[in-house]
Amino acid sequence: MSLRVVGPMVLLLLEYAFVLAVGPLLLSLGRRVKARSQGRTGSPLLQPYRDLWKLLGKGAIYSDTSSWLTRWAPAVSFAALLAAVPLIPWLVLPAPLGYVGDLIVLVGLLALSRFIVALAALDAGSTFGGMGSSRDMWMGALAEPVFLLVIFAFGGPAGSTQADVIAARGVALGLGYLSPPLLLAVVAYVLLLLVETGRLPVDNPATHLELTMVHEAQTLEYTGRDLALLEWGQGLKLALMLGLLAALAVPWGLATTWGLLFLLAALAVTSLKLLGGHLFVSGLETRLAKWRLFRVPDLTTLAVVLAFGSLALTYVVGGGA
């Protein structure tokens, strides 16, 4: 196998290892920030890794009413999230595998992950599962059109919906990349991130109250390694959303050559951007209370207005030039 093939594959494996490792850490960091804001110590930062290790070593138990869908849904959902990793520039520009898909494909993969888990929750025959599935799919129907608009807001000035092309434009422009359209797109994306990852004020991942839980209601029937895949998938999805925000909003720090020192520096910068972005989101959560379910459209409507404002400034006023 030639070096031209081995190099991108090794780099892609490095990116996979990084994203899979950082996902549980992001979840733990968010819980720690919220605990400190409430005057509690919180669980250790490495607790999610211990929980995953314990769950992966246990078998799965299934309801008598469930079918093959319940058994395969966690693996399919996790695989869909894994397939989205190469679509985001984590360390180097251009992406290691070149063009394997754009951000519209990313939206589709996230929708597939959401859809298969919702179907499985219905398949198990649980009342809570059906409630959580209906809520999650309703939120997805609100979030996915907003996601497409935000992608167009970021990609319009670059003339592409491919993440590494947008990031490469930002790197080339330097501080000239900062503009009012970019700011509006970033705010719209942050609002979208709260909905897509189920954070406050949309959902509270720490609660198990039947009147408020969404994602947790869909995982109540799962145990063992299936539950581990679903929990790990939540961390992976959060890492994907934050990684995309880092690549599109602050692309500086990505390596443009494959030198070892450049890659290590890019790894450090990307880690700082992910942790910084999640600290900001977690801090924002501590200032917000859980909203009623039917107030969620208010959040997505504001994101739509901001995304349209970004597009208007780009194409009408010329703010994205």
State yes or no: pLDDT of 236 exceeds 90. yes
Indicate the pLDDT class of residue 318, thresholds 50, 70 and 90: low
Task: Write the pLDDT tens digit of every residue in 66-116.
Answer: 888 888 999 999 999 999 999 999 999 888 877 777 899 999 999 999 999
Which range (204-208, 298-302, 310-314) has the least confidence? 204-208
- The CA radius of gyration of the chain, in Å to the nearest whole number, is 20
Domain containing 145: what range? 3-317
- When divided into structural domains, the chain yields a total of 1
State yes or no: pLDDT of 315 exceeds 50. yes
107-132-307 Cα angle (round to 5)? 35
CB 262 within 8 A of CB 255: yes
CB 239 within 8 A of CB 228: no
Indicate the pLDDT class of residue 319, thresholds 50, 70 and 90: very low
Q: What is the largest CA-CA distance in the chain?
A: 60
Phi and psi at residue 92, in whole multiples of 5°?
Answer: -140, 150
Average pLDDT over residues 38-43: 76
Distance of CA 161 to the CA centre of its chain: 17
Indicate the pLDDT class of residue 21, thresholds 50, 70 and 90: very high
Helix (H) / strand (E) containing 69:
helix 68-83
Token digits of residue 4: 């031209």
Q: What secondary structure letter does DSSP report for 255?
A: B
Residue 135: HSE in the Cβ half-sphere, 13 Å Cα cutoff: 24
CB 198 within 8 A of CB 286: no
Q: How high is the mean pLDDT of the chain? A: 85
State yes or no: pLDDT of 281 exceeds 50. yes
Average pLDDT over residues 228-247: 94
Residue (of 196, 112, 185) closest to 152 by Cα position: 185
Burial label, 5 (beta-carbon count in 10 A; 0-12, 13-18, 19+): exposed
Tell me the residue type at 10.
Answer: V
Give helix then strand counts, H and E, for the chain. Answer: 11, 0
- CA separation for the pair 97, 273 (Å, rounded): 23
Q: What's the pLDDT at 163?
A: 93
State yes or no: pLDDT of 3 exceeds 50. no
Task: Write the pLDDT tens digit of every residue in 163-221.
Answer: 999 999 999 998 889 888 999 999 999 999 988 887 777 776 666 666 667 777 778 78
Token digits of residue 291: 């909203």
Task: Write the pLDDT tens digit of every residue in 64-80.
Answer: 778 888 889 999 999 99
CB 219 within 8 A of CB 60: no
Task: Write the pLDDT tens digit of every residue in 260-273.
Answer: 888 889 999 999 99
